[in-house]
């Protein structure tokens, strides 16, 4: 597409990048077809092509965006389905990130919106605060109908029934490899995930150690910055990213690291993009080093191969592809291949390329669109009649888990189970229920979820 930036505008590296991205777009419209919000709303303004247009207009003319422009850009899930679809290689992620940053700097949101975003940015990335908030939300949940704002209601509804205590494993420490050491890896322990579900990191550590990895939880590692990054809050997100980079570089330049393992794909997409995110920062070189080291847990496990993966029941697993994994990192087959290698029967729902509506804080900020996407996702998953659902991202797990009785686990929990770890908690619970049902009602088929 033709663009119209002045030399002065192009002196800014973010604008220069956006110009290059816009120039590569031919406005063919393919992206509209796989955009979840376009599917739900049917307005091109809520599609990548429409948003690209809004962003182009805003950036070219140094405009203070109006409310409609902000609304349409806010409605983007950043699922990046459009990037998988785009034949011209338009890097939509960098463009929408730039737009979000630009909006945050130039546009004054309404007071309640500002308060909400401030609150999320101050709570979600900090596991201690988030855990307290979850306990509060759980207590307040019975009164949620009294709240006028659907976003606040969504927050209360998100609180899980079981809020785990902080895990000892998430403290800075080294876990030695079991057997001879094949790799030394750092684990990105994350933030919100640590408050919501401690089983995931526990299973990851067990799985990696069992496969010959020394696992390091570096001192000073924490939130990757994705949550605030997607709100356009650059200062906060860059500060978090810098802290992570310093923590990882200390290990890398110390005893050395073969990889930084990420088990929340939303974070993985961000860490892999650190080089771009911090391109103008003093830590730019280190950021690039960390970015190339980052690996999703399924990538590293594909490299390692599964040892003796025959300890789990051969359940029928519906694999939910998290967008940050399938679109953000273009990892599609590794999780399914690993699950199959571990003896599970893997099924995939129709329209697996479409987002479940979780998308970081999206389910809290845009509850209407999010719940429509959730309903569609649940329908397609349940149509595959799975005994268990697996996903590689805590956000998706919360979103889907809140709408189904089918047990839901992180892929890594199944791989851990199959290679000798404990049975995942939610499967154990579901099996117990089924056994009780069997005792009470005399139901013969104890397998989960079978029609």
Partner 1 sequence: MSTIAMPEPDVGILARAPQIIAALESVLSAGTVISSPEETRAYECDALTAYRCPPLAVVLPRTTEEVATAMRVCHELRVPVVPRGAGTSLAGGALPTADSVIIGTMRLREILEVDTANRYIRVQTGITNLAVSAELEAEGFFYAPDPSSQLACTIAGNIAMNSGGAHCLKYGVTTNNLMGVRIVMATGDIVELGGPLLGTSGLDLIGLICGSEGQLAIVTEATLRIVPKPEGARPVLIGFDSAETAGECVGGIIRSGLLPVAIEYMDDVCLRAVEAFVKTGYPNCAAVLIVEVEGSEAEIDHQIARIRLIAEELNPVEFRASRTAEESLAIWKGRKSAFGAMGRLGDYLCLDGTVPVSKLPHTLKRIGELSKAYGLEVANVFHAGDGNMHPLILFNANAPGELERAEEFGADILRLCVDAGGCLTGEHGVGIEKRDLMTKQYTADDLAIQMEIKSVFDPAWLLNPAKVFPLEVSQPHREAAARCP
**Residue 126: which residues within 8 A CB-CB, separation 6 or more?**
191, 223
Q: Does 44 bind partner 1 (CB under 8 A)?
A: yes
Q: Does 40 bind partner 1 (CB under 8 A)?
A: no
- Least separation, in Å, of the C-beta of 246 and partner 1? 37
Q: Taking a C-beta distance cutoff of 8 angstroms, is the pair 79, 116 a contact?
A: no
Q: Nearer Cβ to partner 1, position 50 or 218?
A: 50
Candidate residues 6, 11, 13, 57; the one interacting with partner 1 per rule CB under 8 A: 57
User: What single string gives the DSSP state of each residue in 47-110?
Assistant: SHHHHHHHHHHHHHTTPPP-HHHHHHHHT-----HHHHH-TT---HHHHHHHHHHHHHHH----
Q: Does 23 bind partner 1 (CB under 8 A)?
A: yes
Q: Which stretch binds partner 1 (CB under 8 A): 38-46, 187-195, 316-324, 406-414?
A: 38-46
Minimum distance, C-beta of residue 65 to partner 1, in the bound complex (Å)? 8
Q: Does residue number 368 form part of the binding site for partner 1 (CB under 8 A)?
A: no
Q: Which stretch, 80-88, 153-161, 366-374, 380-388, contacts partner 1 (CB under 8 A)? A: 80-88
Eight-state DSSP code of residue 383: T
Q: Which range binds partner 1 by CB under 8 A, 46-54, 137-145, 169-177, 409-417? A: 46-54
Round to whole Å and give the CA distance between 159 and 12. Answer: 42
How near is the Cβ of 347 to partner 1 at its closest, in Å?
A: 15
For residues 149 and 169, what is the distance between their CA atoms, to the nearest angstrom?
37
Residues of this chain, 81-140, that bind partner 1 according to CB under 8 A? 85-90
Q: Please identify, using beta-carbon distances, which residue of 45 and 186 lies nearer to partner 1.
A: 45
Do 182 and 213 meet the contact criterion of CB atoms below 8 Å apart? yes
Q: Binding of partner 1 at residue 32 (CB under 8 A)?
A: yes
Minimum CB distance to partner 1, residue 375 (Å): 17
Largest distance between two CA atoms of the chain: 77
- Three-class secondary structure of residue 186 per DSSP: strand
Among 68, 173, 307, 333, binds partner 1 (CB under 8 A): 68
- Find out whether 128 and 156 touch, Cβ atoms under 8 Å: no
Interaction of residue 375 with partner 1, rule CB under 8 A = no
Q: Looking only at residues 185 through 204 of this chain, which bind partner 1 when binding is defined by CB under 8 A?
A: none
Q: What angle is formed at CA 137 by the lines to CA 135 and CA 142, rounded to 5 degrees?
A: 120
User: CA-CA distance, 297 to 387, in Å (whole number)?
Assistant: 23
Q: Please tell me whether residue 49 binds partner 1 under the rule CB under 8 A.
A: yes
* Least Å from the CB of residue 47 to partner 1: 9
Piece of the chain touching partner 1 by CB under 8 A; list 41-49, 100-108, 222-230, 233-241: 41-49
Residue 293 Cβ, how far from partner 1 at the closest point, in Å?
25
Contacts of 321 (CB under 8 A, 6+ apart): 332, 335, 348, 352, 353, 391
Q: Are 364 and 120 in contact (CB under 8 A)?
A: yes
Tokens (6 digits) for 343:
């003896």
Residue whose CB is less far from partner 1, 1 or 132:
1
42 binds partner 1 (CB under 8 A): yes
Please identify, using beta-carbon distances, which residue of 31 and 315 lies nearer to partner 1: 31
Site membership for partner 1, residue 69 (CB under 8 A): yes
Short-list 351, 300, 354, 347, CA closest to 327: 354
Instruction: Count residues near partner 1 (CB under 8 A).
Output: 34
Closer CB to partner 1, 59 or 187, in the complex: 59
Selected from 21, 25, 187, 364, the binder of partner 1 by CB under 8 A is 25
Distance, CA of 351 to CA of 341 (rounded, Å): 24
Residue 225 near residue 244, CB atoms below 8 Å: yes
Min dist CB 372 to partner 1, Å, is 14
Q: Where on the chain is the footprint of partner 1 (CB under 8 A)?
A: 1-3, 23-34, 42-45, 49-50, 53-54, 57, 66, 68-69, 72, 85-90
């Amino acid at each position: 597409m033709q663009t119209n930036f002045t030399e002065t505008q192009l002196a800014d590296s973010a604008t220069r990048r956006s110009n290059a991205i816009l120039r590569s777009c031919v406005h063919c419209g393919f992206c509209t077809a796989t955009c979840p919000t376009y599917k739900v709303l049917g307005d091109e303004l809520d599609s990548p092509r429409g948003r690209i247009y809004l962003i182009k207009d805003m950036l070219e003319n140094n405009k203070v965006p109006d409310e409609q422009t902000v609304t349409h850009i806010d409605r983007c899930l950043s699922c990046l389905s459009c990037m998988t679809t785009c034949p011209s290689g338009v890097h939509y992620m960098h463009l929408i990130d730039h737009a979000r940053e630009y909006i945050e700097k130039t546009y004054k949101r309404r007071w309640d919106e500002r308060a909400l975003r401030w609150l999320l940015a101050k709570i979600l990335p900090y596991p201690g605060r988030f855990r307290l908030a979850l306990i509060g939300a759980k207590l307040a949940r019975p009164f949620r109908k009294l709240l006028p704002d659907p976003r606040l209601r969504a927050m209360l509804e998100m609180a899980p029934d079981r809020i785990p205590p902080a895990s000892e494993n998430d403290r800075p420490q080294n876990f030695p490899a079991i057997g001879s050491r094949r790799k030394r890896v750092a684990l990105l322990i994350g933030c919100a995930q640590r408050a919501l579900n401690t089983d995931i990191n526990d299973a990851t550590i067990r799985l990696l150690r069992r496969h010959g990895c020394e696992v390091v939880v570096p001192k000073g590692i924490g939130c990757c910055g994705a949550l605030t990054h997607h709100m356009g809050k650059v200062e906060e997100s860059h500060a978090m990213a810098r802290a992570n980079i310093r923590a990882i570089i200390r290990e890398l330049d110390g005893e050395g690291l073969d990889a930084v393992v990420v088990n929340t794909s939303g974070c993985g997409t961000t860490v892999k993009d650190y080089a771009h995110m911090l391109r103008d920062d003093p830590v730019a070189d280190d950021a690039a080093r960390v970015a190339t080291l980052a690996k999703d847990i399924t990538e590293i496990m594909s490299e390692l191969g599964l040892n003796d993966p025959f300890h789990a029941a051969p359940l029928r697993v519906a694999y939910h592809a998290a967008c940050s994994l399938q679109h953000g990192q273009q990892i599609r087959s590794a999780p399914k291949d690993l699950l199959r290698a571990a003896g599970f029967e893997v099924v995939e729902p129709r329209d697996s390329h479409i987002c479940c509506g979780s998308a970081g804080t999206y389910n809290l900020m845009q509850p209407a669109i999010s719940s429509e996407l959730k309903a569609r996702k649940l329908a397609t998953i349940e149509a595959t009649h799975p005994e268990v659902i697996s996903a590689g991202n805590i956000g998706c797990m919360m979103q889907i888990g809140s709408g189904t009785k089918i047990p839901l686990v992180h892929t890594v929990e199944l791989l851990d189970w199959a290679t000798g770890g404990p049975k995942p908690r939610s499967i154990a619970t579901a099996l117990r229920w089924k056994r009780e049902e069997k005792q009470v009602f005399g139901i013969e088929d104890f397998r989960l979820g079978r029609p």
